[in-house]
Structure 1
Amino acid sequence: MAVTLLIIMIIITILMCAFAIQVTSTTTGFVPAKILTPQKIISENSDLHLTCSTFRLKDNIMVHVYLCHNDIWIDQKKQKNDHYDSLFIIPIASLNDSGNYSCVFSRENDLLPKEPMKGLNVIQIVVIAIYLPADISIAGRSAVKEGGDVTFRCSVSDTLQTLGDCQFIHSHLRRNETLVQVQPFSVKRMEATFTIRGAVSKDTGNYSCVVLPSKCVPEQEETRHGNNAVMLVVKESLVLRVMVSCGVVALMSLVGLCLWLINKQSQIIAEKSKVAFSASFNAASRHSHADMSEEQNDMESQDGDSFTTEGEDYQNVVNAAVSINFDDCEGLYSAAEESTGAAVYSMPTRGDP
């Protein structure tokens, strides 16, 4: 029984839709069409693609298809008799392009929809801003001394739409229109925290923050502004400056001492090397003179021995000459002379027998 009632209700609904289409077409000349899109949430400055379909809604004839935004006609295209889909592109979509979209078609081109029109279905398009101005506050005093930490809180009060169901998107902390830090912005807590550690005087300035809901990662650097700005003043600390100055002086003194010690050590090493070289040179010189003296003494000893030997030989010759007996020499001469003469006279002559 329940199934039968459900079927009857479906049939009645279809008949009522057909009747409504027929009435609308008869009274205004426009027939509701179906709208399709691959994207319902897009980023600002991107292109929006919408398709109007007349499939099973027209005969094999040419018609004019109209794209409606919030029930108002914004664009139209001619559709050939053998085509059933017409593509509409909204380039560089802005935040104003968010809203409800639908399609209608007509056989005549001179009938422009001047009253609200709705198609068979409606698609809601949401265009997300590239960045949103956020609210910023300082957790603590707005005037701190040098070396202290400063914490900023960045928040958004409105409902935050994101692409791709990003749970953490990026937020920027800016000082005097200059990007200082990038931190993840929690969609669940609707807050981001920025901390400047060891603040110095150059950190003084006006701070603001923005949120980038259209991307999970930051895009190229652009000039962006937050909803408000807070002024941070970092006071110079005399104690810290004296400590820094003393530290610099101590460091310079330590460096100078190290350089002096290195120079002194180099001089000591050079002096030791010089002394060692001089000692080695003197020792070598004494050794050379000793060798020369020893060679000279050996030569003199050899010369003395030779002279003595020659003198003794000469003396022996002289003594031998002195010891000759001239009487014996005379006798020897006489005997030699006699024997010679005898031999001469005893030789036969040629006439002797």
Structure 2
Amino acid sequence: MKAIIIFVCLFTNRVTSQSADVFPGKIFSSHKNISEGSEIIFKCSPHGSGKSSTSLYLYLCKDGQGIQRKRQKQDQTDIIFTVNSVKLYDSGNYSCVYSPKGYEPSNIFKSGSNTFAILVKAAFLPAQISMVGSSTVTEGDIFELQCTVDANMVQKHTECTHIRSYLMRNNTVVRMEAFSIKDTKATFAIQDATLRDSGQYSCVVFPSRCVREEDAKFRGNNTLTVHVEENVSYWGVVGMGLLSTLMILFFFLFIIVKQRQIFTGKYRFHQK
């Protein structure tokens, strides 16, 4: 217990001593909402520090804790910080502080004179796919697949009314439709099913890609296997059609042969 109290006291004293020579700076950025995988650029300024004969250390902080440190040269006014390939956990409130001393960024616990809120949006959201209606599909049928995403999840990552959703068959994109944020779903209708429409289907939505409402007609959590069966009645009709055609041809051929035989017989009779 004594050891824990001593550690807490030492840590508190260290933070207090650092706070004495760590001062709030100004932060600037053109970003606010950004997609996963992008980069964020911040400009930090030791606002109000005045001219100093020694260089300063500027710290980029997220939610009140340092994450990056750069040393300012005497001829520099501002420092540029970059956060590359952002993830969802990079969302937060960013600010800048400065100090004449070079501390480890993780040991800085302070916020700047202003903060900049960053929201990182998911690059894509895996959707749940299901079959609408009967799961039995035969050639020539129309079948529908429906993609859905949890309402809280999709509304958190977009301000659009419609976003892009993609239907994939065997991991290849085959169709794009507008995903309604209000209905939290997109429906894909496959017309005149053929055997090549068989396969494993999945879908995914992109919350950062808006679709205009007037253009709304336009790899997920699971996959759905669709098997298109041969339409026996269809092939029966085709077979009957071919058989009828052959019979008609045979009939005309029989008439032609008979007429030739009659004509040949008459010709021989006249010769006699």
TM range (shorter): 0.7 to 0.9
- Whether the 8 Å contact between 2:19 and 2:110 is mirrored in structure 1 is no
From 68, 75, 90, the equivalent of 2:68 is 75
Q: Does 1:160 align with 2:152?
A: no
- Whether the 8 Å contact between 2:154 and 2:181 is mirrored in structure 1 is no
Runs of 4+ in structure 1 deviating by more than 3 angstroms, as ranges, are 23-28, 80-84, 110-113, 159-163, 244-254
Task: Specify the alignment match of 2:133 in structure 1.
Answer: 140
Distance 1:248 1:86, change over 3 A: farther
Cα deviation for residue 26 of structure 1 reads 7.3
Distance 1:154 1:236 in 2: 26
Distance 1:228 1:121 in 2: 44
- Whether the 8 Å contact between 1:53 and 1:84 is mirrored in structure 2 is yes
- TM-score of the aligned structures, taking structure 2 as reference length: 0.72
Deviation readout 1:16-68 (Å, 9 max, x if unpaired)? xxxxxxx978744211212221011112222211111222x202013110011
Q: What residue ranges of structure 1 are gaps of 5+ in the alignment?
A: 1-22, 218-224, 265-353
Cα deviation for residue 247 of structure 1 reads 4.9
Task: Specify the alignment match of 1:209 in structure 2.
Answer: 203
Aligned partner of 1:134: which letter? A
Q: Does 1:198 align with 2:198?
A: no
Task: Specify the alignment match of 1:220 in structure 2.
Answer: none
From 41, 47, 51, the equivalent of 1:60 is 51
- Whether the 8 Å contact between 1:60 and 1:82 is mirrored in structure 2 is no
Q: Does 1:128 align with 2:135?
A: no
Distance 1:251 1:89, change over 3 A: farther
Distance 2:192 2:63 in 1: 54
Distance 2:247 2:101 in 1: 95
Task: Specify the alignment match of 1:103 in structure 2.
Answer: 96
RMSD over aligned Cα, in angstroms? 3.0
Larger radius of gyration: 1
Aligned partner of 1:86: which letter? I
Distance 1:246 1:89, change over 3 A: farther
Distance 1:172 1:252 in 2: 47
Cα deviation for residue 127 of structure 1 reads 1.8
Distance 1:240 1:124, change over 3 A: same
Would you say how many aligned residue pairs link Structure 1 and Structure 2? 227
Distance 1:113 1:205, change over 3 A: closer
- TM-score of the aligned structures, taking structure 1 as reference length: 0.57
If asked which structure has higher relative contact order (CA below 8 Å, sep 6+), I would say 2
Q: What residue ranges of structure 2 are gaps of 5+ in the alignment?
A: 1-14, 212-218, 257-272
Distance 2:145 2:30 in 1: 40
Query: Which protein has the bigger strand share?
Result: 2
- Whether the 8 Å contact between 1:161 and 1:213 is mirrored in structure 2 is no
Cα deviation for residue 203 of structure 1 reads 1.8
- Whether the 8 Å contact between 2:88 and 2:120 is mirrored in structure 1 is yes
Task: Specify the alignment match of 1:50 in structure 2.
Answer: 42
Cα deviation for residue 107 of structure 1 reads 0.9
- Whether the 8 Å contact between 1:29 and 1:111 is mirrored in structure 2 is no
Query: Which protein has the bigger helix share?
Result: 1
Cα deviation for residue 133 of structure 1 reads 0.5
Aligned partner of 2:174: which letter? V
Could you say what secondary structure the match of 1:213 adopts?
Answer: strand
Distance 1:114 1:182 in 2: 48
Task: Specify the alignment match of 1:37 in structure 2.
Answer: 29
Distance 1:252 1:114, change over 3 A: farther
- Whether the 8 Å contact between 1:67 and 1:103 is mirrored in structure 2 is yes
Distance 1:96 1:134, change over 3 A: same
Cα deviation for residue 114 of structure 1 reads 1.1
Distance 1:247 1:101, change over 3 A: farther
- Whether the 8 Å contact between 2:131 and 2:144 is mirrored in structure 1 is yes
Distance 1:229 1:107 in 2: 57
Distance 1:253 1:81, change over 3 A: farther
Could you say what secondary structure the match of 1:137 adopts?
Answer: strand
